Copies of this chain bind each other. A is one copy, B any other.
């Protein structure tokens, strides 16, 4: 970890442009009093945190429509940066335009294709508005504010409207309101030594881990017995086949409990007897 003055704001890295949904997630979890550092790709987040250039990283781990972000699970395994928090953010798409451009004048709407595709009902109801794909949601707001004639809108987060000074014309135009992304806040082990998480930070804590078994069925069933026999609540279990190794699987597992709870410790010791690999990804306050 590089040394900086204590008075300096924490630097938190996220993937995307300023105003991206990841940026909104940083604000929701840590408030506005942090310095956010946008980066291009997921692995950059892990690298810059590992090297001590930033104090934390916020990475998306699963989405209610699109599933688990396996790439980030892979980085979690590789970089061994502990999870220190979590937050679920509802993905709300807003139509916005530069101030002074009324809805009736909007002829073209820029956004990331995934966002455009999540607002199909809006475009069906407004067939005169053309959809134009753009590199990302927040970047499309930046562009309509700077470079385009006043008939262009963008679809993006509320935070993007604030950052670039756009005015929201239609709120929450997404087809599916059950669109949530869950993020992990990562720290370095060193940071957590200096700033340990307070036990009273939350009523419930979660522990996330990854383990492998050589073969299902017996193996998974026995692995889960380590938890079932001790009444440990599981919140997530997901298998992921290891490519090129038929019948070998990686499992993602979230449970309710803290690592310093003897019951959890016993369960994990039991699992360790049964699993080929067991890696604890972190123990953190259960988020909203």
Contact = CB atoms under 8 A, between A and B. Distances in A.
A228 interface: yes
Interface in A137-195: 176, 178, 180
A65 interface: yes
Contacts of A68: 67-68
A217 B234 contact: yes
Contacts of A41: 117, 120
- What DSSP secondary structure best describes chain A's contact surface? mixed
Interface stretch (A22-30, A128-136, A268-276): A128-136
A239 B237 contact: yes
Contact of A133 (B134, B216, B232, B234): B134
A237 B217 contact: no
Given A65-B70, A217-B228, A238 B238 contact: yes
Interface in A59-108: 62-71
Nearest to A227: B217
A247 to B, nearest CB: 8
Nearest to A238: B238
A120 to B, nearest CB: 6
Interface stretch (A3-11, A50-58, A218-226, A277-285): A218-226
Contact of A67 (B66, B222, B227, B234): B66
Interface in A232-250: 232-239, 241, 243, 247
Counted per complex, copies of this chain come to 2
Nearest to A218: B228
Contacts of A71: 65-66, 176
A236 to B, nearest CB: 5
Contacts of A35: none
A180 B113 contact: no
A112 interface: yes
Contacts of A67: 62-63, 66-70
A213 B114 CA distance: 32
A176 B41 CA distance: 13
Contact of A239 (B178, B238, B241): B238
Nearest to A236: B239
Contacts of A66: 66-67, 69-71
A12 to B, nearest CB: 22
Given A65-B70, A227-B217, A234-B220, A243 B178 contact: yes
22 contacts: A41-B117, A62-B67, A63-B67, A66-B67, A66-B69, A67-B70, A71-B176, A112-B133, A215-B233, A217-B224, A217-B227, A217-B233, A217-B234, A220-B228, A220-B237, A221-B227, A222-B228, A224-B224, A233-B247, A237-B239, A238-B238, A238-B239
CB-CB nearest 7 A-B residue pairs: A67-B67, A221-B228, A67-B68, A216-B234, A238-B238, A133-B135, A217-B228
